[in-house]
Amino acid sequence: MLKQTPSPLLTLLRRLLDLGGTGRAHPPVIAAAAPAPDFPSLGSVSCVSNTPAPRTIGEAGTALIKRFEGCARLRLDGLIEAYPDPGTGAEPWTIGWGATGRDHVHGGRIGPDTVWTQAQCDARLADDLARYAAEVVAALGDAPTTQPQFDALVSFHYNTGAIARATLTAKHRAGDTEGAAREFARWNRAGGRVLKGLVNRRAAEADLYMSQPLEKAL
């Protein structure tokens, strides 16, 4: 006896009945993908920590330093001479854009007889900014930091040399930016006296530091 082959239509009807008897195919169940455990949400601070921290001072920080350091004692012959510290009336002698210590032009240390050209002052500023910025990077570690915050901290360190030991740095590393901003005002003395110039500089640094909080940098 010959076996009758089912018609294509009958085969289709049987397949539909096998899918549930409704004549409608059930879509496959797709499990929702779980978020990656270490992928930060857009609103979290961890987004900032994944953003490369500044490593060089920006234009705002450089302008602030130049504004408060000045390039004083320009002589009639166009050369620039050193001047004594305003707090002590003597050491440390300063020249150009606030350079103290080593005399990279003549050797030895900067003193009352040190004289540089404008180009030598500008070159020393560039070298000092790179050095102080590197020291700020080392002191901050992996703490989330915006460019204005970094600029303010480099200016602070350029003037005080205290970035590694200041409570200001510890508060910034802990994420207490408001507490860190208040710390600037404490560094207003030279030679044991409060100086108006330092009061104004610390206020300008604090303003720059708070001009772009972390949450606005996202």
Question: What CATH number did the domain enclosing 106 receive?
Answer: 1.10.530.40
Which domain range does residue 106 map to?
A: 54-212
Note whether residue 6 is domain-resident.
no
Which residue among the candidates 69, 81, 178, 215 is catalytic per the annotation?
Answer: 69
189 phi and psi, to 5 degrees? Answer: -120, 150
Structural domain count, the chain: 1
Note whether residue 104 is domain-resident.
yes
User: Using one digit for the tens of pLDDT, what is the confidence trace for 75-109?
Assistant: 999 999 999 987 788 899 999 999 999 999 999 99
User: Using one digit for the tens of pLDDT, what is the confidence trace for 1-60?
Assistant: 444 555 555 554 455 445 444 444 444 433 334 443 433 333 333 334 455 689 999 999
The yes-or-no verdict on residue 169 having pLDDT over 70 is: yes
Q: What's this model's pTM, rounded to 2 decimal places?
A: 0.73
Q: What value does the mean pLDDT take over residues 129-149?
A: 97
Q: What is the DSSP letter of 39?
A: P
Look at residue 118 in the predicted model and tell me its pLDDT.
Answer: 97
Residues 9-41: b if buried by 16+ CB within 10 A, e if exposed:
eeeeeeeeeeeeeeeeeeeeeeeeeeeeeeeee
- Contact status, residue 65 vs residue 155, Cβ threshold 8 Å: yes
> What SS3 state is found at 208?
helix
Note whether residue 18 is domain-resident.
no
Note whether residue 185 is domain-resident.
yes
Note whether residue 35 is domain-resident.
no
Look at residue 190 in the predicted model and tell me its pLDDT.
Answer: 85
Note whether residue 69 is domain-resident.
yes
Note whether residue 23 is domain-resident.
no
Look at residue 35 in the predicted model and tell me its pLDDT.
Answer: 40
Give yes or no: 69 in active site.
yes
pLDDT higher for 174 or 18? 174
Note whether residue 48 is domain-resident.
no
Look at residue 138 in the predicted model and tell me its pLDDT.
Answer: 98
27 beta partners: none
